[in-house]
């Protein structure tokens, strides 16, 4: 039988060679559309994707003809040159490129590039590299240019003095144009940058005079920016954005806004996030190693990290103390230098500053011979001793020796501060250039008064200490210029009301048929705070609740939960039970019967206001403080710490006087 011949052999005159054994036939899968497509060289595909990404990142238009030629070359590549396991097509590559070409996305969207190989997958699993990848994504800043420019300037003029977080020259160089206009840079920002900017806007909006805010009350002007900042935070949290210093700074700004709007669940949780970020970034022991600074830029970077830590520590101490809860930062494991003045930091001029010693008997003396004599450093020292006093007073296991050592430390610090910042010896000056320094001096005196309140908790001295501390607060207020009260730290307002460590009804409540000048002065100061911060209005509500205690409604118990330091423990137990039963927290409108859902900030965040009449009292503050009329002999019954005490002061009701009242 004649063997068959193929067409090629028939044309060339050759002969076909047949195998002696036939190969066992293999099962073939039915062809699909994907398998019918020609294979693509992965090397050429990667070069094409890199080309598209480079063009989009530089804002260059893509040449369609070159793209089509590249596609044609990829399609015409021989099948044996391609990886047999690869199933990537040009359509998927163009889809990836389209994702990167989007430049006007909102903060809530995710536009991350899908991993193309095992190295990309490993990068996505690495939090730090995932942060860098997501940080490159574009986010539209939904704020007019002139408004954003003014708010940044207002922030550094009005907010930075009491929230010294950002390096002004570097921040302006990063976000502002270098030309004569000084306007904010146009274009898209990363989600992390937008988060930081929205936090700046939320805090600065209340001080703005821009016409777009004319019809909005000052405490509510930052709500729209806080909502956008919260959306950016939610986006970064969803994609597991790794901890960075800028991310922490943005969280600090938003957390300060929430606390100043009224302590609540959201502010409490975000404070914990800030603490964990600080630990992740090793900010709690940034100065554990005593290394000399060889580079001013390196010192400036370290100072920025120190400032972030101290602000996180302040948020932690404030939220814990005001609600009678344990703090999250262990003070015995802190190794951070106290911050220096803004002027030295902005000029990148290194100044030696001491590390805060955890033991109070050593901590109070660390600034005596230090080159760092900044008022904020002294304030942080007074704040630290106040926090230690609160922990000791509220602890169930504190010993008498520890209390005596702490009392002596507070007294020594009081004398040291009086020597340098005495209100009568060194009259403070309030003007546009020095108001920040003067407000820190007021703050350190208020912190010392609170510290003495906590350590004067024995029944024998309680009544006398309430009277002394009340008069001392009145004396401090007399030296506080009313126009600059609203430009001070909003947390200062919480030091004005007496805590339940010394029952407030003995200091606040007026007798029947008579007025209480100290109560009136507190209302005026809190109203001044309330004109800018909702925290001041909330404290007015707390003062009103204290005046009619124990007649407190269930809705007001929710307020008392987050201001537990002013109320007795039985009331706090009732407040916790009520909150658990109702499933509510202190958020917007709770005193008015409305609730909010979690996940996103309400349109009017923490909208709790005191009576409107209290806000109208602020215009009377100038007259009351300047004249010093109190209805008593004098507000200044407690003279300066260095002044001599008259002997008749130690008789009658003051027989329990001791060295703590110096």
Which pLDDT score, from 0 to 100, does residue 55 have? 61
Identify the pLDDT of residue 181: 63
Mean pLDDT of the chain: 73
**Average pLDDT of the residues in 407-421:** 91
Phi-psi region of 513 (alpha: psi -120 to 50; beta: other; left: phi over 0): left
Question: Predicted confidence band at 31 (pLDDT cuts at 50, 70, 90)?
Answer: low
The most confident of 432-441, 588-597, 614-623, by mean pLDDT: 432-441
Query: Does position 290 have pLDDT exceeding 60, yes or no?
Result: yes
Summarize the confidence of residues 113-119 as an average pLDDT: 37
**Pick from 159-168, 395-404, 454-463: least confident:** 454-463
Which DSSP letter does residue 402 get? Answer: H
- Residue-wise pLDDT for 503-560, tens only, equals 444 444 444 445 677 788 888 899 999 999 999 999 998 888 877 755 677 777 778 8
The pLDDT score that the predictor gives to residue 264 is: 86
Between 233 and 54, where is the model more confident?
A: 233
The reported pTM is 0.68
DSSP 117-184: SHHHHHHHHSHHHHHHHHHTS-B---S-HHHHHHHHHHIIIIITTTS--S-HHHHHHHHB-SSTT-PB
C-alpha–C-alpha distance, residues 497 and 409, integer Å? 24
Q: Which residues contact 215 (CB under 8 A, 6 or more apart)?
A: none
Give the confidence band of 220 by pLDDT, cuts at 50, 70, 90: very high
Q: Read out DSSP for 404-425?
A: HHHHHHHHHHHHHHHHHH-TTT
Average pLDDT, stretch 222-244? 91
Least confident stretch, 27-41, 160-174, 240-254, 520-534: 27-41
**How is the chain split into domains, by residue range?**
145-242
Report the pLDDT averaged over residues 637-645.
33
Q: Which of 554, 613, 547 is nearest to 579 (CA)?
A: 554
For 67, 391, 423, 481, the CA distances from 427, given in Å and listed in that order, are: 74, 33, 5, 12
- Identify the weakest region by mean pLDDT among 271-285, 347-361, 419-433, 595-609: 595-609
DSSP string, 436-497: HHHHHHHHHHHHHHHHHHHH--SHHHHHHHHHHHHHHHHHHHHTS-GGGTTTS-GGGGGGTS
Q: Specify the pLDDT at position 291.
A: 72
| Whole-angstrom distance, CA of residue 639 vs CA of residue 620 | 25
pLDDT at 575 over 60: no
Rounded-to-integer distance, Cα 519 and Cα 655, Å: 25
Are 301 and 350 in contact by the 8 Å Cβ rule? The answer is: no
Which whole number is the average pLDDT over 248-254?
A: 97
Q: Does position 223 have pLDDT exceeding 70, yes or no?
A: yes
Statement: residue 191 has pLDDT above 60: yes
Cα-based torsion angle of the residue sequence 539, 541, 545, 546 in order, rounded to the nearest 10 degrees: 30
The reported pLDDT for the residue numbered 483 is 86
- Sorting pLDDT into bands at 50, 70 and 90, what band is 25? low
* % the chain with pLDDT above 70: 63
Type and span of the H or E element at 344: helix 342-346
Place of tokens 């423990």: 569
Specify the range with the lowest mean pLDDT, choosing from 6-15, 411-420, 609-618: 609-618
Look at residue 93 and tell me whether its pLDDT is greater than 90: no
Q: Would you call the peptide bond into 550 cis, given omega within 30 degrees of 0 as the criterion?
A: yes
Place of tokens 């320094």: 437
Least-confidence region, from 50-64, 184-198, 315-329, 642-656: 642-656
The strand pairing partners of 355, in sequence order, are: 337
- The highest-confidence range among 212-226, 475-489, 601-615, by mean pLDDT, is 212-226
Alpha-helical (H) ranges within 479-589 are 517-530, 534-547, 554-562, 569-582
Mean pLDDT is lowest, of 31-45, 73-87, 188-202, 634-648, for: 634-648
Q: Which of 1-10, 479-488, 618-627 has the lowest mean pLDDT?
A: 618-627
Q: Are 130 and 242 in contact (CB under 8 A)?
A: yes
Nearest to 539 by CA among 594, 510, 498: 498
Residue 297 or 594, more confident: 297
User: Both tokens of residue 406?
Assistant: 């702490």
Give the separation between CA 424 and CA 478, rounded to whole angstroms.
11
pLDDT at 228: 95
**Residue 22 is encoded by which pair of tokens?**
């036939």
Looking at 200-209, 323-332, 352-361, 462-471, which range is the least confident one? Answer: 462-471
Q: Which residue has the higher pLDDT, 29 or 37?
A: 29
């Amino acid at each position: 039988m004649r063997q068959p011949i193929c067409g090629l052999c028939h044309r060339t005159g050759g002969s076909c060679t047949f195998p002696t054994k036939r190969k066992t036939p293999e099962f073939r899968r039915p062809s699909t559309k994907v398998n019918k497509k020609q294979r693509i060289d992965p090397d050429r595909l990667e070069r094409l994707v890199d080309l598209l990404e480079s063009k989009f990142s530089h804002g260059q238009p893509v040449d369609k003809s070159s793209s089509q030629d590249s596609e044609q070359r990829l399609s015409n590549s021989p099948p044996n040159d391609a990886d047999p396991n690869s199933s990537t097509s040009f359509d998927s590559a163009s889809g990836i490129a389209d994702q990167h070409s989007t430049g006007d996305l909102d903060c809530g969207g995710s536009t991350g590039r899908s991993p193309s190989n095992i190295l990309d997958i490993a990068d996505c699993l690495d939090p730090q590299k995932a942060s860098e990848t997501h940080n490159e994504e574009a986010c539209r800043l939904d704020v007019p240019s002139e408004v954003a420019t003014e708010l940044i300037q207002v922030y550094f003029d009005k907010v930075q003095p009491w929230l010294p977080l950002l390096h002004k020259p570097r921040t302006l160089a990063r976000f502002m144009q270098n030309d004569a206009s000084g306007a904010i840079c146009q274009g898209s920002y990363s989600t992390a940058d937008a988060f930081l900017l929205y936090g700046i806007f939320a805090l600065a909006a209340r001080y703005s005079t821009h016409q777009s805010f004319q019809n909005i009350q000052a405490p509510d002007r930052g709500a729209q920016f806080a909502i956008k900042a919260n959306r950016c935070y939610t986006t970064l949290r969803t994609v597991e954005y790794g901890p960075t210093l800028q991310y922490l700074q943005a969280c600090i700004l938003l957390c300060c806004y929430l606390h100043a709007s009224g302590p609540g669940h959201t502010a409490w949780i975000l404070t914990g996030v800030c603490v964990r970020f600080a630990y992740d970034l090793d900010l709690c022991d940034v100065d554990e190693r005593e290394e000399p600074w060889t580079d001013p830029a390196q010192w400036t970077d370290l100072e920025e990290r120190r400032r972030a830590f101290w602000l996180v520590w302040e948020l932690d101490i404030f939220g814990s103390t005001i609600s009678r809860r344990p703090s999250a930062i262990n003070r015995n494991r802190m190794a951070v230098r106290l911050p220096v003045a803004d002027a030295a930091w902005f000029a990148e001029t290194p100044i030696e500053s001491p590390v805060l010693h955890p033991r109070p008997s050593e901590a109070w003396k660390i600034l005596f011979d230090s080159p760092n004599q900044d008022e904020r450093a002294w304030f942080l020292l007074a704040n630290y001793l106040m926090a230690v006093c609160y922990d000791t007073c509220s602890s169930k296991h504190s010993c008498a020796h520890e209390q005596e050592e702490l009392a002596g430390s507070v007294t020594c610090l009081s004398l040291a501060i009086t020597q340098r910042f005495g209100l009568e010896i060194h009259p403070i000056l309030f003007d546009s250039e020095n108001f920040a320094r003067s407000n820190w001096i007021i703050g350190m005196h208020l912190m010392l008064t609170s510290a003495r309140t906590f350590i004067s908790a024995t029944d024998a001295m309680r009544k006398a200490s309430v009277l002394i501390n009340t008069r001392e607060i009145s004396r401090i207020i007399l030296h506080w210029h009313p126009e600059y009260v609203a430009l001070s730290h909003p947390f200062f307002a919480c030091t004005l009301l007496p805590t339940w460590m010394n029952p407030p009804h003995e200091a606040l409540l007026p007798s029947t048929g008579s007025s209480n000048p100290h109560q009136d002065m507190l209302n005026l100061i809190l109203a001044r705070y309330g004109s800018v911060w909702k925290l001041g209005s909330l404290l007015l509500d707390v003062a009103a609740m204290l005046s009619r205690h124990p007649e407190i409604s269930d809705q007001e118990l929710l307020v008392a939960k987050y201001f537990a330091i002013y109320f007795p423990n039985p009331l706090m137990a009732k407040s916790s039970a009520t909150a658990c039963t109702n499933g509510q927290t202190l958020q917007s409108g709770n005193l008015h019967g409305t609730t909010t859902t979690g996940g996103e900030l309400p349109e009017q965040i923490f909208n709790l206001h005191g009576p409107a009449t209290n806000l109208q009292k602020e215009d009377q503050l100038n007259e009351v403080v300047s004249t010093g009329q109190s209805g008593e002999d004098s507000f200044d019954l407690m003279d300066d710490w260095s002044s001599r005490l008259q002997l008749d002061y130690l008789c009658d009701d003051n027989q329990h006087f001791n060295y703590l009242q110096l």
